[in-house]
Amino acid sequence: MDLEFQITQNNADFYDWLLNDINRAQKSICIETFIYINDEIGRKIREALTQKALEGLKVFVLVDSAGSFNLPNNFFAPLAAAGGEIKFFRSFKFFFRFLEKINHRDHQKLFIIDNEITYISSANIMEKSLEWRELTIRIRNASEGAAFSRIFRENFEIADSHRIDGKLTHHIHTPAFDILRDIPLHLKTPVREKTFKLIENAREEIYLETPYLINDWSMRKRLNEAKRRGVRITIVGPLKADYWVVDILNKKYMAKFLKMGIDVRMFTSRFLHSKLLIVDGGVFMTGSSNWDYRGFLIQFELMIMGNCPPLLHALKDHARQSVEGSRPFTDREHKRRSIIQKLMGKLLIPIEKFF
């Protein structure tokens, strides 16, 4: 099918595109993000949303209460006064509920304009990420827009609830790709299951790009089996993670993959926050999940998977650029870790799955 889309790795482009689409919106605007920061970018988007609400458009905003915990309680007050609807996903009302649900977060990034323009992205709303390498796809198609609008409505409806509905994992097929959703601690985890199936069926090549490499044993097991079958595997992560603790764990897991004979690389010019899986050059998966323990089991995630030729070609070009902008991670680097880094790597073992 003919799919009208644009891809960018730069958040400056993404925010410009999004603001332009918001300003041109005629009917409705839906924004769902894990992190929303009170900075210049966040305020610009809020002001644009408020103006469209004043014009009579339906404006909905859904942000995660943990990811956006620094956001002032009255930040969206102008938008609410203009008629916009804002929800904080699973706000912490009681301490015991906080302990129980703190890791069941809405990690999805979804932006929909007039039920026709959709952004699937690795990016949040924060000025800090202007320097990061991301992966954002802007799609203009009514069929895909309708499917994503339905997903947003379902997420918006459950934002105040602490019950998990299995219907949120239902497979959604569109003419261009499949839409996959994972929800916390549910028996059916489509992103996880499809990822494992792709790895198990791989015959030639697996390309994985992710900022966080703290994968569970089942992911490593399948990658190791694929490597033993002779599949070429390339994993690209960041040279340095956005948090020092995560960086220690990232390097630890890079070493694990390196021992399997996998080509492990580090993107050097800026923090890599994009998420992309390509198998045998014929199937892609991208979206919000990092393919780590959190993404597979304890967060709400949204991914697309398919083989649409033009989109696949653009994503393969993105992967090529990531490889060209990276350098190999070596065993020597792992062995040269400081005593503190080695000690922290051991001390973090009981809780490393929650990073």
Q: Say whether both 154 and 211 belong to one domain.
A: no
Q: What is residue 189's predicted lDDT score, i.e. its pLDDT? A: 85
Q: Let me know if residue 301 belongs to a domain.
A: no
Task: Please give the backbone phi and psi of residue 75, each rounded to the nearest 5 degrees, phi first.
Answer: -60, -45
Name the residue range of residue 325's domain.
Answer: 190-288+306-354
What's the CATH number where 12 sits? 3.30.870.10
Residue environment code for 149-160, b if the CB has 16+ CB neighbours within 10 A, otherwise e? bebbeebbebbe
Nearest to 215 by CA among 172, 250, 189, 260: 250
Computed from CA positions of residues 138, 143, 146, 147, in that sequence, does the dihedral angle turn out positive or negative? negative
Q: Say whether both 312 and 196 belong to one domain.
A: yes
How do residues 293-319 score in pLDDT, each as one tens digit?
Answer: 888 888 899 999 999 999 999 999 999
Q: Let me know if residue 178 belongs to a domain.
A: no
Q: Please report, in angstroms and rounded to a whole number, the separation of the first and last CA atoms in the chain.
A: 39
Backbone Cα Rg of the chain = 20
Distant-in-sequence, close-in-space partners of 284: CB < 8 Å, separation ≥ 6: 276, 277, 278, 305, 306, 307, 311, 312, 315
Q: Say whether both 267 and 313 belong to one domain.
A: yes
How far is it, in rounded angstroms, from Cα 144 to Cα 111?
A: 12
Region 142-157: what's the mean pLDDT? 92
How do residues 208-229 score in pLDDT, each as one tens digit?
Answer: 999 999 988 899 999 999 999 9
How do residues 76-104 score in pLDDT, each as one tens digit?
Answer: 999 999 999 999 987 755 434 444 445 67
Residue 141 has pLDDT above 50, yes or no: yes
Tally of domains in the chain: 2
Q: Say whether both 272 and 318 belong to one domain.
A: yes
Q: Let me know if residue 24 belongs to a domain.
A: yes
How far is it, in rounded angstroms, from Cα 121 to Cα 110?
A: 7
Q: Let me know if residue 65 belongs to a domain.
A: yes
Q: What is residue 166's predicted lDDT score, i.e. its pLDDT? A: 58
The answer to whether 226 and 202 are in contact (CB under 8 A) is yes
Q: Which of 145, 163, 181 is the last residue of a domain?
A: 163
Q: Let me know if residue 156 belongs to a domain.
A: yes
The answer to whether 125 and 37 are in contact (CB under 8 A) is yes
Q: Say whether both 134 and 31 belong to one domain.
A: yes
Q: What is the pTM of this model?
A: 0.93
Show the tokens assigned to 347: 């001390």
Q: What is residue 100's predicted lDDT score, i.e. its pLDDT? A: 44
Percent of the chain with pLDDT over 90: 72
Q: Say whether both 106 and 213 belong to one domain.
A: no
DSSP code at position 297: I
How far is it, in rounded angstroms, from Cα 56 to Cα 91?
A: 28
Q: pLDDT grade, residue 337 (50/70/90)? A: confident
Q: Let me know if residue 173 belongs to a domain.
A: no
Residue environment code for 282-311, b if the CB has 16+ CB neighbours within 10 A, otherwise e? ebbbbbbbbbbbbbbbbbbbbbbbbebeeb
Q: Say whether both 94 and 206 belong to one domain.
A: no
Q: Say whether both 217 and 270 belong to one domain.
A: yes
Q: Say whether both 213 and 113 belong to one domain.
A: no
Q: Let me know if residue 11 belongs to a domain.
A: yes
Distant-in-sequence, close-in-space partners of 92: CB < 8 Å, separation ≥ 6: 65, 66, 98, 101, 102
Q: Say whether both 274 and 141 belong to one domain.
A: no
111 forms bridges with which residues in the sheet?
A: 31, 119
How far is it, in rounded angstroms, from Cα 155 to Cα 160?
A: 10
How do residues 22-75 score in pLDDT, each as one tens digit?
Answer: 999 999 999 999 999 999 999 999 999 999 999 999 999 999 988 898 899 899
Q: Say whether both 137 and 282 belong to one domain.
A: no
Q: Say whether both 207 and 335 belong to one domain.
A: yes
Q: What is residue 331's predicted lDDT score, i.e. its pLDDT? A: 86
Show the tokens assigned to 51: 């103006």
Q: Let me know if residue 42 belongs to a domain.
A: yes
Q: Which of 163, 179, 206 is the last residue of a domain?
A: 163
Query: For the ranges 16-20, 137-141, 247-251, 267-271, which has the lowest average pLDDT?
Result: 247-251
